[in-house]
Structure formats: C-alpha cells, structure tokens
Amino acid sequence: MFLLSPSPSPTPSIMPSVTPSPSPSSTPSPIIDFHEASQSLVEACNKGEGLLCTVLNAMLPPRAAYPEWIPLVAGVADVILIILLILVAAMVIRKIAHRLITRITLRAGEGVLPDRLRRAATPEDATSAILSERRRQRGDTLGSVLRSIASVVILGTAFLTIATKIGIPIAPLLTSVGVLGVAVGFGAQELVKDFIAGMFMLVEDQYGVGDVIDTGVAIGTVEAVTLRITRLRDIDGKVWYVRNGTITRVGNESQGWSRAVVDVPVAYDTDVIRVQDLLKEIATQLWEDENFHDTVIVEEPQVFGMEQISDSAVIFRVSVKTVPGERANAARELRRRIKRAFDEQGLVFAA
C-alpha cells in the first residue's frame, strides 16, 4: 500500500531587482575646472609655494585668522607673475637669437669672392656694386627665414609652458599638432624640397640676380630669387619660373670670370706668321686700352695660334679673360679691331 504524501510546493524564485543606471551626462567637461584650479591655488599658497604666497605666510597670522580668498588672490597673482616672467624671458631670448642670426647671416652672405672682385679698388666699379647687392639680398633672405624659425620655436615653447602653468592639458594639443604636421608634411613634400634647395642655393651663392645661368630647363638672366622659385628671362624675352627643387645642376656664366673666344679664319695660302703677329699686336692694344684694362678684361689676351687647318682655311684662336657679364662686349670689340686691321693690311677672311 502506497502512502500518498502531498508534494512539496515549489519554492518561488527570487528575481533580483534591476535598477536602471543613470545615463551618462552628455555635457562636455571644460578644459579648465575653475573650482579645482582655485582649490589647488589655495593649497599651494598655504604650503608657501610661490613668491607672494611665501611673503603672505611670513607676514600674516595663521591661515585660520584670515579668509580663504586671500591665499586665492595671492596664488592667482603668483601665476600671473610667472606668466609675465616667462613672456619677458621669451622676448629677451628671441631678441638675442635674432641678433646672433643677423650677425651670422651677414658673415655667411660674404660668400666665395673671386680675387679680381676682392681687390676692386673704386666704389664706382659696377661689378663690385652688383656683388655687394647680391650679398645683401642673400643675407637678408637667410636672416628673415632663420629669425622666423627662431621666433616660432621660442614663442611656441613659452606658450606651452604657460599652458602647463595655468592647467591646460598640452598632451592632446601636442598630439593634434603632431598629426597635423605629418599630414602637412605628406602634402607639402615638394614645397619643403623647394625651400631646402633654395636655402642651400643662397648659402652657397650658386647664382644671384643679374647672373646668366643654365638650369637645364631654361637659359637666361636671373631676375628674382626666392626660397621657392627662381625667375629667369631668356634671350627671346620669355620669363621662366623654375622651382628650386627641380634644379639638379646650374651653369653660371657670370660668376668669377668669363672667357671670350674668337676664331679668325684666313685663307690657306696666307702668311701665318704675319697673321699671328698682327693678332698679337691687336690683343696687346686691346689690353692697354684704358677703357678695357682691368674694367672689362682682367688678363692680357692670348693668341693660341693655329687652332685648325683645312684644305681651304687656317683658323687662329684668340682668348680674352673678362669680368662676369662682359664676355660678349670684349668679343665684339676684338672682332671689330681684327676686321679693321685686316682691311688695312689687305688680308681677307676665309669663307
């Protein structure tokens, strides 16, 4: 016989009550918590940190004897004083750096001068004046760039120091600036390349305003030089703007000295000794002419003699070393004198 006992009633399950969590506040936190900043100033002042707070703690009775706003005001005054000192120090350092940069760039602007131009005696010498102007332009450009860089570095450091002092977090700012710098660097690679090439070009005095240069892409007279581009005008009057970063080689026809080479073809049956003696006499007369001696021509012209011989002509070569930019004038004057002397002597040129 089975005894039927009542089955135990199921134990009711206890469900935990779920309390909805408060939603986070969507109000952004301020960059500076002024309440926290004021408390920090008061605590720092009570510890005697800062010039005014040190004087305050030494002169006034214990903290309980005066209200809390007094150390707060002293702390704020200390911060303002430190900010002013940082600004004054930054301006003084900036001024010193600018003076040093100016002196250095003026010395660097002297460049490499040829001996002929180093001993230019008279201030009326046009070549010396042009060279002085080139040195001045180069020194001014370099000084301007370096002074700007120094100002950015010094004032930027002062700004970051002040931001740290007043409680602005600079880590996010530096991260943002770094990311922005990387982006700008990738986007301005060609511009940076042009500026670096322009800096070295100015420091090394590769060319200047008034020089006749060959950049590979254009040949002409330099009209303007900046850190980014060089402006040329070719023989046809066309203006070329050449980026400094694209110039891989430069041929300068106006730096140091130039050489005018004049070839004189005469008939094959002409007396070569007579022609060579006549050319030497013409070259000597040109060298002794006060309008050309040491102002256009820097060395006595050389007659190399017979340069080429063919079945119809004998070619004599005359070489004249000139100051920069006077090569064409010296060559024209030499040809004019040779033509007149040949007419007087009854000599003819070979076809």
In tens, the pLDDT along 52-88 reads: 566 655 555 555 455 565 556 666 677 788 888 889 9
Mean pLDDT of 13-35: 46
Neighbouring CB atoms inside 10 A of 40's CB total 13
Looking at the structure, do residues 58 and 178 belong to the same domain, yes or no?
yes
Looking at the structure, do residues 120 and 52 belong to the same domain, yes or no?
yes
Is the pLDDT higher at 41 or at 326?
326
Neighbouring CB atoms inside 10 A of 267's CB total 14
Looking at the structure, do residues 131 and 269 belong to the same domain, yes or no?
no
Task: Give the model's pLDDT for residue 200.
Answer: 84
Which residue type does 46 have? N
Q: Say whether pLDDT at 259 is over 80.
A: yes
Confirm if 112 and 205 have CB atoms less than 8 A apart.
Answer: yes
Q: Considering only 52-56, 101-105, 175-179, which range has the smallest mean pLDDT? A: 52-56
Looking at the structure, do residues 156 and 36 belong to the same domain, yes or no?
yes
Is the residue at 159 inside a domain? yes
Is the pLDDT higher at 243 or at 65?
243
What's the total number of domains in the chain? 3
Q: How confident is the model at residue 293 (pLDDT cuts 50, 70, 90)?
A: confident
Looking at the structure, do residues 121 and 223 belong to the same domain, yes or no?
no
Confirm if 207 and 255 have CB atoms less than 8 A apart.
Answer: yes
Q: How confident is the model at residue 4 (pLDDT cuts 50, 70, 90)?
A: very low
Q: Considering only 54-63, 215-224, 268-277, 325-334, which range has the smallest mean pLDDT? A: 54-63
Looking at the structure, do residues 176 and 235 belong to the same domain, yes or no?
no
CATH number at residue 309: 3.30.70.100
Q: How confident is the model at residue 89 (pLDDT cuts 50, 70, 90)?
A: very high
Confirm if 212 and 325 have CB atoms less than 8 A apart.
Answer: yes
**Residue 76 backbone phi and psi in degrees, to 5:** -65, -40
Enter the pTM of the model: 0.52
Task: Give the model's pLDDT for residue 69.
Answer: 58
The token duo for 345 is: 């002597």
Is the residue at 19 inside a domain? no
Q: How confident is the model at residue 334 (pLDDT cuts 50, 70, 90)?
A: very high
User: How many helices (H) and strands (E) would you count in the chain?
Assistant: 9, 8
Looking at the structure, do residues 51 and 37 belong to the same domain, yes or no?
yes
Looking at the structure, do residues 42 and 183 belong to the same domain, yes or no?
yes
Mean pLDDT of 255-277: 89
Q: Domain residues for 305?
A: 258-345
Looking at the structure, do residues 207 and 70 belong to the same domain, yes or no?
no
Looking at the structure, do residues 37 and 145 belong to the same domain, yes or no?
yes
Percent of the chain clearing pLDDT 90 (strictly above): 21
